[in-house]
């Protein structure tokens, strides 16, 4: 009788281990998911901090260099890619700004969207850009799907940003912007819900 009791206990223990295995696997799986989620959040925070850090370092470097007027250059960084925009006095200043930004440690690449505008014609260009942006915004605000589109104009080049409900609305925004007097071209950077 003792052997049968031992056998019964062994079978009961084995059944307990088999029943507990899925629970242990589920707990380990939950731990892995929580760890992955924490890593993802940490990486997102690092990217945001490093992007703002790269933007700040680039702005400081531009202000410190005599070849570029730092106040003329707007700097934005997304995922290590530095975007330079604004109006500078000469082609040399445009090249220097890109070179300075590329020299910052941690910068993956540079998008140089700077425009060369002679200082004498800067006021006329700036005033016209403000008028163009305002006209495009006014036209888009009449359409329900396009009311939240952000508009920026640089030397007649209109940039549209924001989110629209469909790709058709995105195309319509570009078309409407092109119809405004003074618009040389349109950069459509709108995103849409799929």
| Domain shared by 109 and 171, yes or no | no
Where among 72, 98, 118 does a domain terminate? 118
- Note whether residue 3 is domain-resident: no
CA R_g for the chain: 29
- Count helices and strands (H / E) in the chain: 4, 6
CA 29/CA 93 separation, integer angstroms: 55
The predicted pLDDT at position 82 comes to: 93
User: Of the candidates 179, 177, 148, which has an alpha carbon nearest to the alpha carbon of residue 164?
Assistant: 148
User: Does residue 77 sit in helix, strand or coil?
Assistant: strand
Where among 118, 133, 149 does a domain terminate? 118
- Note whether residue 23 is domain-resident: no
Distances (CA, A) of 106 to 43, 109, 112, 130: 15, 9, 17, 34
The predicted pLDDT at position 15 comes to: 60
Where among 82, 102, 118 does a domain terminate? 118
Q: pTM of whole model > 0.75?
A: no
CA 93/CA 38 separation, integer angstroms: 43
| pLDDT tens by residue, the chain, 194 residues | 566 666 666 666 556 666 655 655 555 566 666 566 656 555 555 555 588 889 889 988 988 888 888 788 889 898 999 999 888 888 999 999 999 999 999 999 999 988 888 777 666 666 688 899 999 999 999 998 898 899 999 888 899 999 999 888 998 999 999 888 888 889 999 987 76
User: What CATH number did the domain enclosing 69 receive?
Assistant: 3.30.1340.30
| Domain shared by 87 and 103, yes or no | yes
Range(s) of the domain holding residue 132? 121-192
The predicted pLDDT at position 158 comes to: 93
Q: Which sign does the torsion angle of CA 22, 25, 31, 36 carry? A: negative
| Domain shared by 51 and 88, yes or no | yes
| Domain shared by 49 and 113, yes or no | yes
CA 140/CA 109 separation, integer angstroms: 33
């Amino acid at each position: 009788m003792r052997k049968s009791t031992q056998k019964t206990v062994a079978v009961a223990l084995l059944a307990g281990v088999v029943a507990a295995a899925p629970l242990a696997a589920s707990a380990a799986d939950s731990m892995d998911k929580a760890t992955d989620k924490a890593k993802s959040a940490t990486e997102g925070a690092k990217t945001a901090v490093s992007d703002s850090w790269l933007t700040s370092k680039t702005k400081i470097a531009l202000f410190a260099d005599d070849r570029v007027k730092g106040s003329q250059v707007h700097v934005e960084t997304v995922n290590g890619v530095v975007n330079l925009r604004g109006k500078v006095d000469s082609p040399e200043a445009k090249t220097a700004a890109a070179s300075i930004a590329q020299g910052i440690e941690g910068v993956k690449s540079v998008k140089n969207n700077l425009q060369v505008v002679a200082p004498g014609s800067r006021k006329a260009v700036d005033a016209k850009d403000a008028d163009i942006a305002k006209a495009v915004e006014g036209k888009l605000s009449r359409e329900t799907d396009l009311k939240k589109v952000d508009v920026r104009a640089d030397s007649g080049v209109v940039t549209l940003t924001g989110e629209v409900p469909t790709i058709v609305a995105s195309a319509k925004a570009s078309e409407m912007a092109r119809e405004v007097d003074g618009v040389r071209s349109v950069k459509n950077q709108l995103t849409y819900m799929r």
